[in-house]
Amino acid sequence: MKAVYTELHRSHDPQFFLVRGVIKRTTEQPERADRLLAGLKAGKHTVVEPTLFGQGPRARVHSAEYLRFMEEAWDAWVALGDSGAEMIANIHPVRYGATYPTHIVGRLGWHAADTAAPISKGTYAAACAATDVATTAAQLVMDGEDAVYALCRPPGHHAYADMSGGFCFFNNSAVAAAQLRLKHERVAILDVDVHHGNGTQGIFYERSDVLTVSIHADPVFFYPFVWGYAHERGAGPGLGANLNIPLPKGTGDDDYIKAIGEAEKTIRAFAPGALVVALGLDASEHDPLAGLAVTTAGFRRIGAAIARLGLPTVFVQEGGYLSDILGANLTAALGGFEEAR
């Protein structure tokens, strides 16, 4: 399996992370990519550079005003003259009868779901590069590859059409799905990150052409808390095209595989032409965010279960944070997929 990667992600090195009122160094660090690259090397995957696609793929899933904000944000922040090293919103208007602001501080709040996606000088370039990685992987699959892995950083599945959040700025999995839609009438997204893919759900919630399925730690106790419940099924034309499978804290391999089986039934019934896997590795028993308890062998079983769907597949890296076995979990997930094919 080919893997797509670029060093441009390193320009995004966030520092701020607010956890229960305590400021910590974020877990979304550049070192994540080094450990994932080691996992690719162990799996003997060929790593290729992304093609530069420009704004087009991002514009398919993100609003024009959000794209403009992301492009202009850092320069406008610096122009304030007394601003900090990272852009962190201090207002969250939630838009009740609100007017779109013109001041950069107001725009930052408008476009931020939380404080977990600080913007610095290199963030926009890194986020754009991540969408190129995802789009390239999708295009390779459209051109005939059976499956391709996209090492995207920063991740994307918490990003809405016009909001950042949860370490995410542009929704790489949604971008990959939109690219695949150029060829396929229907596309499915299976999100196996420990967190609900709320941004992805939001982008496609009223669409019938993209099925969104998310298996995640129950939002009763875990981020994002206000999205990801089983009764969220889509709306309008998209009613029934969204499936959430929340799991109890500490769920291990066997029960996770049962959830994959439930997802498989829905995906087969939808009959998509291609699949995007939002590959979070943070369901690991050793992940610092500690929501679920999947073992390395469990990730191999997850990869094998995905392979049995028999679909052209784009793996898009989402979460998975610093632990000694992060790379091994990636090797296992992709290896299980390849062995089952």
- 270 token code pair: 């939808």
Tell me the Cα Rg of the chain.
18
CA-to-CA distance for 75 and 120, rounded, in angstroms? 10
Residue corresponding to tokens 């790593």: 47
Catalytic residue flag (residue 158): yes
Q: What is the largest CA-CA distance in the chain?
A: 57
CA angle 46, 144, 191 (to 5 degrees): 75
- 74 token code pair: 């850092």
CA 125 to chain centre: 17
CA 33 to chain centre: 14
CA-to-CA distance for 156 and 278, rounded, in angstroms? 9
Active-site residue (options: 9, 62, 158, 195): 158
Instruction: Give the residue numbers annotated as catalytic, written as ranges.
Output: 158
